[in-house]
């Protein structure tokens, strides 16, 4: 569900290290999930998506893992770069509904 009233949790990672951002979703009827990246003052941008019939999907330097048993989603970013610094949101699409509901978000900071 939405946690829009809470301050964003933060994660700091050294440049070149891997990072893992986690997200818990509440609706077991959700069947499609997306990770978005939002840079300061801009709209969110699509990173990677995964459907509920999968448990892992890989992109360029990013991997999304889905654990439907515990309703948990994670985004792994390999070999982080300064440009990866941003706020990352997970979003879920509840089956039968044509809308995306966003999670709380995590602010990722890459330290040089």
Partner 1 sequence: SQTIHQWPATLVQPVGSPLSLECTVEGTSNPNLYWYRQAAGRGLQLLFYSVGIGQISSEVPQNLSASRPQDRQFILSSKKLLLSDSGFYLCAWSVGGSVNTEAFFGQGTRLTVV
**Is 100 one of the binding residues for partner 1 (CB under 8 A)?**
yes
From the list 14-22, 40-48, 63-71, 77-85, the region that binds partner 1 by CB under 8 A is 40-48
| Cα–Cα distances in angstroms (integers) from residue 19 to residues 40, 41, 88, in the given order | 20, 23, 12
C-alpha 21/C-alpha 4 separation (Å) is 17
| Beta carbon nearer to partner 1, 42 or 70 | 42
- Return the residue of 84, 93, 108, 110 that touches partner 1, per CB under 8 A: 93
**Is 44 one of the binding residues for partner 1 (CB under 8 A)?**
yes
From the list 3-11, 14-22, 60-68, 69-77, the region that binds partner 1 by CB under 8 A is 3-11
- Return the residue of 28, 45, 58, 111 that touches partner 1, per CB under 8 A: 45
Token digits of residue 96: 């039968």
DSSP string, 48-93: EEEETT-SEEE-SSEEEEEETTTTEEEEEESS--GGG-EEEEEEEE
C-alpha 86/C-alpha 50 separation (Å) is 21
Residue 109 CB coordination number (10 Å): 14
| Beta carbon nearer to partner 1, 18 or 28 | 28
The footprint of partner 1 (CB under 8 A) covers: 2-8, 31-32, 34, 41-46, 49, 51, 89, 91, 93, 95-105
């Amino acid at each position: 569900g939405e946690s829009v009233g809470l301050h964003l949790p933060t994660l700091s990672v050294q440049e070149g290290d891997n990072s893992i951002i986690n997200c818990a979703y509440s609706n077991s009827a959700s069947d499609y999930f997306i990770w978005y990246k939002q840079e300061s003052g801009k709209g969110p941008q699509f990173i990677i998506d995964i459907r509920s019939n999968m448990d892992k999907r890989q992109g360029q330097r990013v991997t999304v893992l889905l654990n439907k048993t515990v309703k948990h989603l994670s985004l792994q970013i390999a070999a982080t770069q300064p440009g990866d610094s941003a706020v990352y949101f997970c979003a879920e699409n509840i089956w039968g509904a044509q809308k995306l509901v966003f999670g709380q978000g995590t602010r990722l900071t890459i330290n040089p």
